[in-house]
């Protein structure tokens, strides 16, 4: 039975307006190819399958991958079945022969391919509602002991996922490396007035099913029901009236096996990831008007996969220092500065323990900003920022490429204004 019959497919040459020019040209070598038209609102693959009751294993996603080697950009279009996961920094990176592969910027991908960009996901467990809702949990307890279950803000890191809870509207690199939200169950014990400890289980660092490495690292963006488990724990201690100490750690393991349900790639037997993340934060009140915060963050990962019987072991991680200094000029106006250094590393072992590839790079960021509240509940935040990468850096550098993807930059100067209204 032809599962696509409900779409009334027709020969591709009869509906050229449905195809990108490059696709139409390629189909000249594939006689008998069929096309059909769908509602653009259902163009996301998972939404399409749900609306038309189609299995994921007969649908596919197309993404444009990019990377850089010796200053030259390289690109590839990757087709992956909807029930499988693309290994962007394993198989794709090796095929491109680059240090790091990532998704091409959306505007460049659309302009270059001539294809449309799929609509957003519609399902709760893999879509916008879950992402936009930062917290949704139940909590029981008293002033000494409490337990909460659901989705909640991660206690790791200095920057909050809630924009209005941050002084700067732009986020730090440690924010990118640390989980912003977690789903699970966690208990808190207020030992005394100065010490509080917490610990519990979460569903790990679940991210988008297409590529773990190019999303916000470790963010709980989509609910993941696969075999992911992690321990989340830490403490906060008030050393004195002016100094506070916070520590948090996430230790976990993610496993995905080729059981026909949800796997990495068609030629992948298994994918196994062990990770350790931690953050140490010191808050210091320097006076009535000055506040200082120091953060040390660390993330280490070991990724173990197998393709067609060949082992593929790679390590990657990052660590760095984030410092913020805030001066409260008045009840309506404050000034702040942030200085940050981060170091990232990556190494590949196609036949462990022989190392076949490695890379190290550093990034520095400098931010100046202000918070101004002209009226109650309204805060305006102007900001200027300078980012600089070392000569060999290429992590997240697609952000610094032009729209055509032909030029890469080691630094960037940016600025802007944001505002939020509390009600």
Per-residue pLDDT of 318-335, as tens digits, reads 899 999 999 999 999 999
Same domain, 207 and 272: yes
> Contact 213/239 with Cβ under 8 angstroms?
no
Lowest mean pLDDT among 5-19, 56-70, 83-97, 372-386: 83-97
Lowest mean pLDDT among 31-40, 184-193, 231-240: 31-40
Same domain, 332 and 262: yes
Q: How confident is the model at residue 296 (pLDDT cuts 50, 70, 90)?
A: very high
Same domain, 39 and 185: no
Please check whether residue 124 lies inside any domain of the structure: no
Between 150 and 217, residue with greater pLDDT: 150
pLDDT at 150 over 50: yes
Same domain, 300 and 249: yes
Q: How confident is the model at residue 72 (pLDDT cuts 50, 70, 90)?
A: confident
Q: How confident is the model at residue 356 (pLDDT cuts 50, 70, 90)?
A: low
Please check whether residue 34 lies inside any domain of the structure: yes
CA pair distance 26, 29, nearest whole angstrom? 6
pLDDT at 256 over 70: no
Per-residue 3-state assignment (H helix, E strand, C coil) for the chain:
CCHHHHHCCEEHHHCHHHCCHHHHHHHHHCCCCEECCCCHHHCCHHHHHHHHCCCHHHCEEEEEEEEEECCEEEEEEEEEECCECCCHHHHHHHHHCCCCCEECCHHHHHHHHCCCCCCCCCCHHHCHHHHHCCCEEEEEECCCEEEEEEEEECCCCCCCCCHHHCCCCCCCHHHHHCCCEEEEEEEEEECCCCEEEEEEEECCCCCCCCCCCCCCCCCCCCCCCCEEEEEEEEEEEECCCCEEEEEEEEEEEEEEECCCCCECCCCEEEEEEEEEEEEEEEEEECCCCEEEEEEEEEEEEEEEEEECCEEEEEEEEEEEEEEEEEEECCCCEEEEEEEEEEEEEEEEECECCECCEEEEEEEEEEEEEEEECCCCCEEEEEEEEEEEECCCCCCCHHHHCCCCCCCCCCEEEEEEEEEEECC
- Highest mean pLDDT among 34-43, 191-200, 397-406 belongs to 191-200
- Cβ atoms within 10 Å of 237's Cβ, excluding its own: 15
Same domain, 410 and 334: yes
Our count of domains for the chain comes to: 2
Lowest mean pLDDT among 122-126, 164-168, 198-202, 227-231: 122-126
Please check whether residue 143 lies inside any domain of the structure: yes
**Is the pTM value of this prediction over 0.85?**
no
Q: What six digits make up the tokens of 346?
A: 């990556």
Same domain, 109 and 142: no
pLDDT value at residue 119: 56
- Cβ atoms within 10 Å of 96's Cβ, excluding its own: 21
Please check whether residue 130 lies inside any domain of the structure: no
Between 246 and 115, residue with greater pLDDT: 246
Same domain, 106 and 149: no
Q: What percent of the chain has pLDDT over 70?
A: 74
CA pair distance 181, 160, nearest whole angstrom? 10
Please check whether residue 93 lies inside any domain of the structure: yes
pLDDT at 274 over 70: yes
Same domain, 83 and 174: no
Same domain, 153 and 108: no
Q: How confident is the model at residue 308 (pLDDT cuts 50, 70, 90)?
A: low
Q: What are the phi and psi torsion angles at 163 (to 5°)?
A: -55, -40
Mean of the pLDDT values across residues 113-118?
A: 71
Lowest mean pLDDT among 87-91, 101-105, 203-207, 237-241: 203-207
Please check whether residue 255 lies inside any domain of the structure: yes
pLDDT value at residue 28: 82
Domain region containing 107? 3-113
Per-residue pLDDT of 41-66, as tens digits, reads 777 777 778 788 888 778 887 778 88
Q: What six digits make up the tokens of 179?
A: 């989980």
Q: How confident is the model at residue 211 (pLDDT cuts 50, 70, 90)?
A: very low
Mean of the pLDDT values across residues 332-356?
A: 78
Per-residue pLDDT of 364-394, as tens digits, reads 999 999 999 999 899 999 999 998 887 544 4
Last residue within a domain, chosen from 113, 130, 154: 113
pLDDT at 126 over 80: no
Last residue within a domain, chosen from 113, 128, 147: 113
pLDDT value at residue 111: 74
Mean of the pLDDT values across residues 161-173?
A: 88
pLDDT at 92 over 90: no
Same domain, 154 and 8: no
Q: What percent of the chain has pLDDT over 90?
A: 30
Please check whether residue 61 lies inside any domain of the structure: yes
Q: What's the whole-number average pLDDT of the chain?
A: 78
pLDDT value at residue 56: 79
C-alpha closest to that of 252 among 223, 222, 278, 213: 278
Between 363 and 401, residue with greater pLDDT: 363
pLDDT value at residue 337: 98
Same domain, 365 and 228: yes
Task: Specify which residues 319 forms β-bridges with.
Answer: 298, 343
What is the CATH number for 388? Answer: 2.40.160
Please check whether residue 133 lies inside any domain of the structure: no
Same domain, 97 and 152: no
């Amino acid at each position: 039975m032809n599962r696509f019959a409900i779409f009334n497919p027709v020969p591709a040459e009869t509906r050229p307006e449905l195809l990108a020019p490059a696709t139409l040209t390629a189909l000249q070598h594939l006689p008998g190819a069929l096309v059909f038209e769908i509602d653009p609102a259902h163009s996301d693959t998972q939404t399409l399958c749900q609306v038309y009751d189609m299995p994921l294993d007969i649908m596919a996603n197309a993404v444009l991958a990019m990377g850089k080697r010796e200053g030259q950009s390289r690109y590839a279009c990757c087709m992956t079945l909807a029930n499988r996961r693309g290994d962007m920094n394993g198989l794709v990176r090796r095929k491109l022969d680059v240090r790091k592969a990532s998704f091409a910027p959306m505007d460049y991908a659309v302009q270059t391919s001539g294809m449309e960009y799929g609509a957003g996901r519609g399902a709760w467990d893999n879509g916008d509602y879950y992402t936009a809702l930062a917290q949704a949990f139940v909590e029981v307890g008293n002033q000494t002991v409490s337990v909460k279950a659901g989705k909640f803000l991660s206690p790791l890191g200095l920057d909050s996922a809630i924009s209005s809870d941050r002084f700067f509207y732009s986020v730090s690199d440690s924010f990118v490396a640390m989980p912003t939200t977690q789903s699970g169950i966690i208990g808190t014990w207020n030992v005394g007035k100065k010490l509080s400890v917490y610990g519990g289980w979460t569903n790990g660092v679940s991210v988008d099913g297409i590529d773990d490495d190019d999303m916000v690292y470790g963010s709980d963006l989509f609910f993941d029901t696969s075999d992911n488990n992690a321990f989340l724990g830490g403490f906060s201690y008030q050393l004195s009236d002016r100094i506070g100490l916070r520590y948090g750690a996430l230790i976990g393991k993610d496993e995905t096996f080729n059981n026909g349900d949800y796997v990495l790639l068609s030629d992948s037997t298994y994918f196994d990831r062990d990770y350790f993340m931690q953050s140490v934060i010191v808050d210091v009140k320097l006076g009535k008007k000055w506040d200082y915060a120091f953060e040390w963050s660390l993330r280490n990962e070991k990724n173990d996969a197998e393709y067609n019987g060949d082992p593929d072991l790679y390590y990657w991680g990052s660590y760095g220092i984030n410092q913020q200094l805030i001066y409260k000029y008045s009840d309506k106006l404050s000034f702040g500065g942030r200085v940050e250094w981060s170091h990232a590393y990556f190494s590949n072992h196609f036949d462990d323990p022989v190392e076949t590839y490695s890379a190290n790079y550093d990034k520095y960021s400098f931010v100046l900003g202000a918070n101004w509240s002209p009226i109650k509940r309204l805060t305006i935040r102007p900001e200027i920022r300078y980012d600089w990468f070392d000569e060999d850096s290429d992590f997240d550098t697609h952000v610094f490429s032009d729209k055509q993807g032909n030029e890469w930059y080691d630094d960037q100067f940016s600025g802007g204004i944001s505002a939020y209204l509390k009600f």
